[in-house]
Amino acid sequence: MKLHGQKVGVPFKEYLHAEVAAIVKCKNLHNAHSIHVYRYSKEGAPMIAKPCPICESVIKSAGIKHIYFTVHGE
């Protein structure tokens, strides 16, 4: 995360988001072509879950071409 934080201009942001954790845990990443990031409220309504710039950088570096995420927030 630190390397990609520096890459996108926020070197002080060092944290592990779910997107990066999933990529780290993935055992067969060379076949991955998409990542899905969904977030829901306690009531079950979709909420905005667009990956942050650092996560986007990690996703692109992993060779993942398509990012799908929820966009409707309340």
Residue pLDDT, tens place only, 18-74: 898 888 888 776 667 899 999 999 999 999 999 998 899 999 988 899 999 998 755
Q: Is residue 9 domain-resident?
A: yes
Domain count, the chain: 1
Question: Would you state the pLDDT for residue 32?
Answer: 72
Q: Is residue 64 domain-resident?
A: yes
What is the value of pTM for the model shown?
0.74
Exposed, middle or buried, 25 (CB in 10 Å: 0-12/13-18/19+)? exposed
Question: Would you state the pLDDT for residue 72?
Answer: 77
Q: Is residue 74 domain-resident?
A: no
